[in-house]
Amino acid sequence: MTFHLRGTVLPDGAVRDLWLLGDRITFDRPTGAADTVTIADGGFLLPGLVDAHTHPGADDKSGRPEFVPELFAEQIAAHRESGTTALRFPGLAGEVPSALRDAPDSPRMITAGRWLAWAGLSKSAVFHTVTDDLVAAAVTEAKAHDGWCKLMGDWDFEAAPVPYELLRAVVDGVHATGGRVAVHCQSAEGVLSAARAGVDSIEHGMGMPEQCVALMAAHGTAYVPTLTAFAHSAPRRIEDNARDRLWRAGHRTMIRRVREAYDAGVTVLAGTDSAPFGNVATEVEHLIAAGLPAEAAVGAASWTARAFLGLSGLTEGGLADVTVYDADPRLEPGTLRHPRRIVLRGRVVR
Ligand SMILES: [Zn+2]
Q: Are 171 and 249 in a shared domain? A: yes
**Cβ count within 10 A of residue 335:** 19
Q: Are 179 and 325 in a shared domain? A: no
Q: Are 128 and 36 in a shared domain? A: no
- The two beta strands, 341-344 and 322-325, are antiparallel
CA distance 121 to 85: 35
Distance 157 CA to ligand 1 centre (A): 17
Q: Are 110 and 184 in a shared domain? A: yes
**Over 179-225, what HEC string results?**
CEEEEEECCHHHHHHHHHHCCCEEEECCCCCCCHHHHHHHHCCEEEC
Distance 235 CA to ligand 1 centre (A): 19
Q: Are 39 and 59 in a shared domain? A: no
Whether the upstream peptide bond of residue 11 has omega within 30° of 0, thus cis, is yes
Q: Are 232 and 245 in a shared domain? A: yes
Distance 298 CA to ligand 1 centre (A): 21
Distance 53 CA to ligand 1 centre (A): 6
Close Cβ partners of 155 (under 8 Å, ≥ 6 residues apart): 117, 121, 122, 124, 125
Q: Measuring CA to CA, how many Å separate 252 from each of 193, 249, 280?
A: 20, 5, 20
Q: 18 with 42: CB under 8 angstroms? A: no
Residue 127: per-residue pLDDT: 65
Q: Are 287 and 337 in a shared domain? A: no
Q: Measuring CA to CA, how many Å separate 309 from each of 108, 305, 313?
A: 10, 6, 11
Distance 2 CA to ligand 1 centre (A): 39
**H helices present in the chain, as ranges:** 69-81, 98-101, 134-144, 164-176, 188-197, 212-219, 227-233, 242-263, 280-289, 294-300, 303-309
Distance 323 CA to ligand 1 centre (A): 26
Close Cβ partners of 310 (under 8 Å, ≥ 6 residues apart): none
Distance 164 CA to ligand 1 centre (A): 22
Q: Are 58 and 168 in a shared domain? A: yes
By residue count, the chain amounts to 350
Q: Are 17 and 82 in a shared domain? A: no
- The tens-digit pLDDT sequence of the chain (350 residues) is 899 999 999 999 999 999 999 999 999 999 876 789 999 999 999 999 999 999 999 998 877 789 999 999 999 999 999 999 999 999 999 999 999 998 999 999 999 999 999 988 866 666 678 888 999 999 999 999 999 999 999 988 778 999 999 999 999 999 999 999 999 999 999 999 999 999 999 999 999 999 999 999 999 999 999 999 999 888 899 998 888 998 899 999 999 999 999 999 999 999 999 999 999 999 999 999 999 999 999 999 999 999 999 999 999 999 999 999 999 999 999 999 999 999 999 999 99
Each residue of 115-135: pLDDT tens digit? 999 988 866 666 678 888 999
CATH no. for residue 18? 2.30.40.10
Residue 38 forms beta bridges with which residues?
Answer: 4
Residue 290: per-residue pLDDT: 98
Q: Are 337 and 273 in a shared domain? A: no
Distance 89 CA to ligand 1 centre (A): 8
Distance 241 CA to ligand 1 centre (A): 24
Distance 269 CA to ligand 1 centre (A): 14
Distance 32 CA to ligand 1 centre (A): 48
Distance 90 CA to ligand 1 centre (A): 6
Distance 232 CA to ligand 1 centre (A): 14
Residue 152 forms beta bridges with which residues?
Answer: 184
CATH no. for residue 292? 3.20.20.140
Distance 37 CA to ligand 1 centre (A): 40
C-alpha dihedral sign at 130, 131, 132, 134: negative
Distance 94 CA to ligand 1 centre (A): 14
**Cβ count within 10 A of residue 164:** 14
Q: Are 266 and 234 in a shared domain? A: yes
Q: Are 218 and 336 in a shared domain? A: no
**Cβ count within 10 A of residue 181:** 28
The structural domain count of the chain equals: 2
- The two beta strands, 115-118 and 108-111, are unpaired
**Cβ count within 10 A of residue 32:** 6
CA distance 244 to 233: 10
Residue 24 forms beta bridges with which residues?
Answer: 21, 319
CA distance 232 to 275: 10
Backbone φ and ψ of 193, nearest 5°: -60, -45
Distance 172 CA to ligand 1 centre (A): 23
Look up the domain containing 67 and give its range.
49-309
DSSP label at residue 267: -
